[in-house]
């Protein structure tokens, strides 16, 4: 397996976990979400709610080598699902 394939698999795993968290917050199922969905306009997840998701993002990120803690301010600034996935990655 090349490094590129490893990265793709890791991103897919992380994307699935991030989307699961956001689906719970939005009161929907992960299958209804896509990376381009806007957190506030499409899902109704406001800034404060996004900030409160930071510990979940941190847990996901830190479950992988080199993972990091996600600050509440960072999580609150996300505009689309892709932003959240990219930062957790």
Write down the pLDDT at residue 9. 54
DSSP 8-state class, residue 39: T
Write out pLDDT tens, residues 49-88: 999 999 999 999 999 888 899 999 999 999 999 999 999 9
DSSP 8-state class, residue 28: S
Answer whether 84's CB lies under 8 Å from 22's CB: yes
Confidence of residue 5 (pLDDT cuts 50, 70, 90): very low
Write down the pLDDT at residue 6. 45
87 CB-near residues (< 8 Å, 6+ apart): 57, 70, 74, 75, 78
Phi/psi class of residue 66: alpha, beta or left (left: φ > 0; alpha: ψ in -120 to 50)?
A: left
Answer whether 14's CB lies under 8 Å from 88's CB: yes
């Amino acid at each position: 397996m090349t490094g590129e394939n490893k990265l793709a698999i890791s991103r897919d795993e992380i994307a699935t976990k991030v989307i699961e968290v956001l689906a719970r917050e939005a009161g929907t199922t992960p299958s209804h979400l896509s990376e381009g969905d806007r957190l506030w306009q499409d899902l109704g997840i406001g800034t404060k709610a996004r900030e409160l998701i930071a510990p979940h993002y941190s847990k996901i990120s830190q479950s992988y080598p080199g993972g990091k803690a996600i600050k509440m301010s960072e999580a609150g600034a996300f505009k689309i699902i892709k932003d959240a996935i990219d930062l957790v990655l």
